[in-house]
């Protein structure tokens, strides 16, 4: 790719990437330069009742090529050099071409499943601690992580406890629901007086953020996505979320009921929000961590039904296909097709 085409594609993909030659600039300056300068005379728009207007579609698919946790080779560097970024950009372009390659081959594989985009120059979504990593786990956190079961680390399934929250299509939890995934990354914000609703495409969840001055319920009242209350600090929406149901986080380990998440959403120009979130869980992690990245408006993005697995039959299928309790049934089914179970599971 020529430098001219590269620069044009970068501008379209990122809307507000750091300047092209800023190796000498401070991290603070580069963080600020992720956002386009607003038009001259622009003011934060207001709703009919006077709150800053965050309404719209803010899909996170354009962040899919930026890792949540910083690769170790970057150390404490929050941004790539120009040369590093050009290589990362080229790799991302090659990944995006897989979709067309599969289409030409009349096949559907990961190029269709993954909604790939171009990377930010930012080396990770986690910006604190300075190394871009999760804080160390406590002893209890290590126990939670070691005992967590999902379809990614389990091979024989006996009951529902052998499946994770995503396997069962229950929730992505927080902060996972507010971070990019591999597909279905739509986020839509709606507002009414005293309330902000954040609809998340994956697992079809909606967060209700109450701005009417209420307090969170007693700690024994728990929710998959916690309980969110908010307030405005100038033009910034501040959200405090507590009352989490244990085991619903997609972080370094399943969360405890002591997890707390503080978010700040600030409209920086007509089409970008500065999203910041601090996550702490003193029972699980030795310290807090922060994610920090731009939201990019895309009103052409559409949220579709997230069916997950129709009729919840997939969970039953895992159990009947692997549990020793169903070995005789599996053998009988193979023999009914003229195949011996000793030959293994037929591949079709």
Q: Which helix (H) or strand (E) holds 243?
A: none
Edge-to-edge strands, sheet with 187-192 = 56-57, 187-192, 195-200, 205-210, 227-233, 236-242, 260-269, 272-280, 289-296, 126-128
- Give the model's pLDDT for residue 309: 74
Cβ proximity of 215 and 229 under 8 Å: yes
**Token pair listed for 149:** 């079961």
Neighbouring C-beta atoms of residue 291, cutoff 10 Å: 20
Q: Nearest to residue 282, comparing CAs of 139, 175, 174, 171?
A: 139
% residues pLDDT > 70 (the chain): 90
Domain coordinates in residue numbering, the chain: 37-65+85-116+127-296, 310-341
Strand locations in the chain (E): 56-57, 126-128, 187-192, 195-200, 205-210, 227-233, 236-242, 260-269, 272-280, 289-296
Q: Is the pLDDT of residue 9 over 80?
A: no
**Token pair listed for 311:** 């009729």
Question: In this predicted model, which residue has the larger pLDDT, 316 or 289?
Answer: 289
Provide the pLDDT confidence category of residue 8 given band limits of 50, 70 and 90.
very low
Lowest mean pLDDT among 78-82, 236-240, 281-285, 334-338: 334-338
CA-CA distance, 229 to 196, in Å (whole number)?
10
Provide the pLDDT confidence category of residue 2 given band limits of 50, 70 and 90.
very low
Q: Is the pLDDT of residue 346 over 60?
A: no
What does the mean pLDDT of the chain come to? 89
Determine the average pLDDT of the residues in 171-183: 93
Specify the DSSP class assigned to residue 345.
Answer: S
Q: What is the pLDDT of residues 106-143, one digit of tens each?
A: 887 776 777 888 999 999 999 999 999 999 999 999 99
């Amino acid at each position: 790719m020529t430098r001219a085409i590269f620069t044009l594609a970068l501008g379209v993909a990122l809307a507000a990437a750091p300047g092209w030659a800023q190796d000498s600039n401070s991290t603070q300056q580069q963080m600020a330069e992720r956002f386009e300068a607003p038009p001259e005379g622009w003011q934060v728009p207001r709703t009919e009742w006077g709150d800053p207007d965050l309404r719209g579609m803010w899909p996170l698919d354009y962040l899919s090529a930026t890792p949540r946790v910083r690769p170790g080779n970057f150390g404490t560097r929050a941004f790539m050099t120009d040369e590093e970024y050009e290589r990362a950009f080229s790799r991302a372009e090659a990944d995006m071409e897989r979709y067309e390659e599969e289409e030409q081959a009349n096949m559907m594989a990961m190029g269709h499943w993954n909604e790939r985009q171009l990377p930010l120059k930012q080396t990770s979504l986690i910006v604190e601690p300075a190394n871009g990593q999760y804080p160390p786990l406590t002893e209890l956190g290590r126990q939670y992580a070691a005992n967590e079961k999902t379809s990614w680390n389990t091979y024989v399934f006996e009951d529902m406890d052998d499946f994770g929250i995503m396997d069962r299509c229950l929730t992505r939890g927080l902060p996972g629901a507010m971070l990019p995934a591999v597909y279905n990354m739509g986020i839509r914000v709606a507002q009414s007086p005293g309330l902000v609703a954040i609809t998340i495409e994956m697992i079809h969840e909606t967060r209700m953020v109450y701005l009417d001055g209420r307090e969170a319920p007693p700690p024994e009242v728990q929710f998959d996505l916690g309980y969110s209350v908010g307030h405005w600090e100038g033009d910034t929406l501040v959200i405090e979320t507590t009352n989490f149901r244990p085991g619903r986080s997609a972080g370094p380990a399943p969360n405890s009921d002591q997890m707390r998440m503080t978010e700040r959403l600030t409209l920086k120009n007509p089409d970008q929000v500065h999203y910041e979130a601090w996550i702490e869980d003193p029972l699980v992690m030795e310290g807090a961590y922060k994610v920090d990245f731009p939201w990019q408006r895309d009103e052409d993005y559409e949220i579709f039904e997230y069916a997950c697995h129709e009729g919840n039959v997939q969970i039953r299928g895992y159990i009947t296909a692997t549990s020793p309790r169903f070995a005789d049934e599996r053998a009988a089914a193979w023999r009914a097709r003229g195949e011996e179970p000793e030959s293994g599971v037929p591949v079709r």
